[in-house]
Structures are given as C-alpha cells and as structure tokens.
Structure 1
C-alpha cells in the first residue's frame, strides 16, 4: 500500500506544481460542479473509499491509552484519506481538463489514471502500477474474506450460526471451518451470475452498489446504537462524544442514505425495478434480523446475551464462552 501511495503521489505532485498539460483549474470546487452529475453514484463511491476506517477500534489492546489513541488515529485516518482522495481527484481532473475528463473516462475507464501516470512516469512505472492494482484487488478480496470468516466464527461461537463454525483450528487457532464455509457460500452465490452470462462490469457494479449501500445503513444504525447506549449507562464521557458527534454523524449519514437511495438505479447501471428489488431485499434482511433478535431475546436469553461478548478463540485462546465474565454496565 505504501508503494501505491508513493506512485500516486508521483502523479499528483507534477500536476500540483505545474498545473498539468492544460494548466491549473479550480472548477471542480465550484458549488455548481460539486452537486452536478450522478450524485448518488458519487456518494456510494465515496463511502466505499472510506470502508474500513472503523476497524481501528479492534486495536485497543495494542496501545497504552486506547481512549485517547484510538479516536485520534481514527480522525487522522479520515482526514488523511480525505485529503489524499481530494488531491488525487483534483489532479486527475486537472490533467485531463474539466471539459475532457468525462469523455476520457467514458472512452476507456481503465486508462483514466494510467494514461496520466504514463504521461509523467513512462511505461515501466505504469506496468508496475498495473501489477500493484491487481495485487490490491486480491488483497482487498482476501481482507473481506477474512472479515466474513471471523463474523461467521463469532456467530457460530455465540450459538447463532451452526456450532461447527465457531470451532478454531486445533493447531493454528484460526477460523478454518468458517473460512471454508465462506468460500463455499461465495462459490454457490457466484454460480447463477456465471451461468447467466451477464456483463461482468455491470454485475460487479450492481453488487458493489448493494454492498456499499448496506454498509451505509449499518453506519447509520450504529450511530443510533451509540446514542442509545450512552443514555442507558452511567459514564463520564463528554457530551460531544456521547451526544453531539453521534447526532451529527446520524444526520450526515441520513442525508447520504437519502441521496444514494434516490439515485440508486444510476449506481447499479441497471433498470429501476432492479434497484427497487435490491433495496427491498436489504429491507427484508433487516426486518428478519430484528425479528430474530427479539425472538432470541425471549426464547434464548443466554445465547442472546452472548452475542459479541466472547473473545479470544480465534487467536488460540482456550477460553470458552462459559468461562468469560458476564457483560456488566460500568462507568467508562
């Protein structure tokens, strides 16, 4: 990743200091341009670009002062990524010029960045960049698979999914069975798409939009959960952390969700009925999850209380769910 960032900056810096072949331009920052085009597509793409920033919380055990370090690292990651994306997007538009960048992207999306990169760095570095892009896609897929495997592992361990998914590998302590199950599920889901001979680009865009839209819904629900959580417990956190910031986050995410919903058909590059169908599917999954959760809270209170509370099995720990202390409400 570090090498990729360096290579992208090798394109950004010449444009930043020389203005590119067509000179400097600031039209991209004009209000009339910011809200032009397919806004829903832009919203979903922007959300996807920040995917994973919330994972900083899992490193609490590895820092001395997590209550200070984790929030600072998260804010720094968001600001750093945002600045990098804005600079690169502006450099790309400046290189092609505002009047030609859309046509260049429509003619050959794969050459939109590599064409500009080749202009400054030559063919050799461009080939290196292409190889790194492919390796990044693989790394992203591997990371997603790893996250899915650990979700299945945790759900199996907590008694929500079949118990065998929650059993770690005897030697390595890894979620091997959950990983194999995830692989099989992905293969089964992919078969209908392969048999239908759909355009891979259209299929990828559709699934990408659905996944990102689902993530946006999860972020929105998380802000509500944060607000409710701090209302139910006694704590010493600042009002900014417990009320103001989550409320602002909720309002911002709600606006993004509305915009992406209105322009969702453009995001998937398909008909309106397909867009509505995907959103209804997500709504059905959400409702089923709520119904099951409420049902388990009444009929399986022990399993319901264990959800998300057990730790350690996936890193070789011999702790069992029963050996862990019950979650209690403490002052933060």
Structure 2
C-alpha cells in the first residue's frame, strides 16, 4: 500500500515536517461507528422524513417514492465504490478536493476546495433558519412567549460553537445520543404502522411499476439524492480516525446503506400510515403536517410531543455535524497554505481545530445577524436561498470526484499500475456518474423552485459557485507553494 501511495505522489518534505509537529495534528479516536454517527447526523434522518419525503410524495411520484430511494441509494453506493477505491492514494484529510486534485490536478482540486467550503458553510448557516423556527414553534406550543426565531438560532449557535472548540469525541458522543433518539422515534412509528397494517393496508406503490414511474419521478429522484447530503464527509475526519484506510471505506458504505434502508422503509411506512389513496393529496395540502399527523394517530399525543422535540434536536445535530466539517476544511486548507497558518494549529490539549472552528463561528454569526436585520423569513428565504447553494455545490462535487476517479485510474492503467479491479476503477463510478449527471440536470432545471421561485437568485447561486471555484483555482495557479498534500 505504501508503494501505491509513493507512486501517486507524496507531499514535499518541508510540508511533511511541519505537519508532524504534535500541536498541528488533529487528534481523535473515531472508529467506524463514530464516523457513521457524525455523517448520518449530518443527513438529519428525522428532518428528511418530515421535510423532503412529503415533498417527494406530493410533487414527485406519489406512492412510488420509496422505490426512488432504492434507486438513489444504488447511485450513491456506486459513487462510493470509486470514492473508496481512490482513498488509499489520498493519504491526507481534505475530502473531495484532495480526491479531485489527485485525479484532475492541483489547480482544479483547489477550485473545488472553495466550492466545497462555501457549500458546507451555507448549508450549516441555512439550517439555523429551520432550527430557529422549529424551536419557536415548539416552545410556543407549550405556552411560552413567542420569541423571535433569531434568538433561538443564536442559542443553538452558542452551544454548537462551544462543542466545536473541544475534541471531536465530545461531538461524536452528543451526536450519537441525539441520532439514536430521532431514529428510535421514527422506527417506533414504522413498527406501529406495519404491525397495525396501515390505514388501507400496507402500501404497494414501492413494487408497482406504474406507480414508480407516475407523476414526476425525476423530481422525486432530486429530493431523494438531496436527502443523502453529508454522507461523503467520512474522509474529512481522516486524521481523527483509527486506522483510516480501513475505517473510512467501512464507514462510507455503512452510512449509505443505513441511510438508504432507513429512508426507504420509513417513507413506505409513512405512506401506509396515511393510505395510498390519500397520501399524495395530504402531502400536497400540508407537507409539514404529514409526519406529525401520522405520529399522533399511531403513537398518540406523547409520540407527537417527542417528534416535535426530536425534530429540533435533529436539526441541531445536523448543524453540529456541518460545523465540524467546515472547521476541518478551514484547518486543512490552512495547513496547505491557502489560509493563514495559525488556523491550521490544533488545540494543544483537545487536538481540535479550535481556531478554524472560531472563524467558522464568526462567519455564521454575521450571516445570522444579516438574516435577522433584513427580516428574512427563516424558511422561505434564509434557509431556501442558502440551501440552494449547497445543493448545487455538493452535487457538483460528487460529479467532479467521480470524474477524478475515472481519470486517475485511467492513467494508472495506461502506466500498467492498475491495482484495483475494473469494477471499482471504471464500471461502478462510471454508472454512478451517469446517475449524478441526471440528478444535477434535474436540480438545475428546478433550481428556481428550490430557491423560492426566483430565477435571478437561481442564476446568482450558480454564479457564486463559479466565482468561488475561480478564486480557489486562481490561488493555486499563482502560488506554487500551495500543495494538495
């Protein structure tokens, strides 16, 4: 394995010496399940079942939507085959841009590093709008004063910032507890629906071809792919993982499979709870009320209260996960001389990217203040506009990574150094790339709808991502000391 890495290029000696200083190294004891907790929490399972799933049912392909989750899981797994095949050749943390750089070159890699940074940062900020409104609604339902969403968002911000200062193991423990809670309540609902037989019997749309291709299956695929955002962050935590060459591939596959099964079964159960004849109608009339309504019917008032609380904690877990991801992007880019070197220093005691985490917190605080001062609606404006950036950006990163995998192994094959199977190097990532290209086409086609029905904002989203790519690529092109390793 070491020979493989040496053949693919190694970091300059000066950089390797700097990175070997103990205080510059991130430290953690993340195993397979620790990384899975962080990644699955970023996907926000309860938030997906309460948000994108009703939309996929209502304006996608109706009762056939669970089958689309099967399709999307296959697409992401095919991507993961190539992603993990390239992992041994990418010896440092850095996630997508390190992989892209390995296959498509240093300049392109840093261009996408900036795309990744703005995509994850905007998604982290966007979810503060959701948690602000969610907490406002939750506490108001218990008779407390109707406090502005921005206050609740800042309370969550302070807690996230504090946790981000410490070792990743603390965040892992918090995320583990919250994740178990939100998954448990959805599984309880699934079990109650399945054992009761559902309102009209268990849904058959998942195995009925005419239902699967009904309505707008392409739009359904869009919502399904978006529900997986966050799984690819397994490689971000490389420096804090035990035995990363074994841990990262296992965590990636495990996270994708668990998320895919969870979404498929839970969506099928939710449709069964409402009934095939009523699911589309109710999802269109009140998408946000589909999950709470089903929960109250099958788990009673207590179950409804639990879901309302865990929906908020699910959003908190999502924010904490993306905060950790953004901090590590800033940290790694700093060690590679893109940002000031001080931001690449790990905390001497906690082994955390505390300064990078602090910079992230400053940017988030400014964004929240802007949202509050300009009186933006927390969901239809603050969340939707920012989430549009991350949706396009992260899907583009998946596509670029797939292309990089194909390019890298094509060079290895020409040089007679292809050590992995044709399936892992070309077939799986090639098929996955086709699925992702279809997905980005659907996303761009429906982008105005995703950003609140505004074509100018949709154009602005794409322009912003192009500008950030140009900025990163420009820095790398002008400065030879900026390295990928």
Length-normalised TM-score, structure 2: 0.56
Whether 2:453 is the aligned partner of 1:270: answer: yes
CA drift of 1:223 comes to: 0.7
Alignment partner, residue 409 of structure 2 = 230
**Structure 1 segment 83-94 matched on structure 2, within 5 A:** 83-94=261-272
Q: Is the 8 A contact 1:43 1:256 kept in 2?
A: yes
CA drift of 1:72 comes to: 5.0
**Structure 1 segment 1-332 matched on structure 2, within 5 A:** 1-27=179-205, 30-35=208-213, 42-57=220-235, 58=237, 62-63=242-243, 66=246, 70-203=248-381, 204-233=383-412, 234-296=417-479, 300=480, 303-305=481-483, 307=484, 309=485
CA drift of 1:220 comes to: 0.5
Identify if the C-alpha distance between structure 1 residues 23 and 111 changes in structure 2 by more than 3 Å, giving closer, same or farther.
same
How many Å separate the matches in 2 of 1:121 and 1:290? Answer: 53
How many Å separate the matches in 1 of 2:180 and 2:277? Answer: 32
How many Å separate the matches in 1 of 2:378 and 2:248? Answer: 39
CA drift of 1:242 comes to: 1.1
Identify if the C-alpha distance between structure 1 residues 198 and 40 changes in structure 2 by more than 3 Å, giving closer, same or farther.
farther
How many Å separate the matches in 2 of 1:13 and 1:47? Answer: 25
Q: Is the 8 A contact 1:43 1:260 kept in 2?
A: no
Identify if the C-alpha distance between structure 1 residues 291 and 64 changes in structure 2 by more than 3 Å, giving closer, same or farther.
closer
Tell me the SS of whatever aligns to 1:50: coil
How many Å separate the matches in 1 of 2:254 and 2:334? Answer: 35
Which of the two has greater helix per residue? 2
Q: Is the 8 A contact 1:223 1:246 kept in 2?
A: yes
How many Å separate the matches in 1 of 2:215 and 2:477? Answer: 42
CA drift of 1:190 comes to: 3.0
How many Å separate the matches in 2 of 1:110 and 1:64? Answer: 39
CA drift of 1:107 comes to: 4.5
- Greater C-alpha radius of gyration: 1
Identify if the C-alpha distance between structure 1 residues 79 and 170 changes in structure 2 by more than 3 Å, giving closer, same or farther.
closer
Deviations 1:190-234 (A, max 9, x none): 333322222221121232232122110001000111112223342
**Structure 1 outlier segments of 4+, above 6 Å:** none
Deviations 1:54-92 (A, max 9, x none): 3444469535972xx754553343233212211111221
CA drift of 1:131 comes to: 1.6
User: 153-162 or 31-40: which moved more?
Assistant: 31-40
Length-normalised TM-score, structure 1: 0.80
Any gaps of 5 or more consecutive residues in structure 2?
Answer: 1-178
User: 261-270 or 137-146: which moved more?
Assistant: 261-270
Q: Is the 8 A contact 1:104 1:112 kept in 2?
A: yes
Alignment partner, residue 70 of structure 2 = none
How many Å separate the matches in 2 of 1:34 and 1:210? Answer: 29
What's the RMSD between the two structures over aligned residues? 2.6
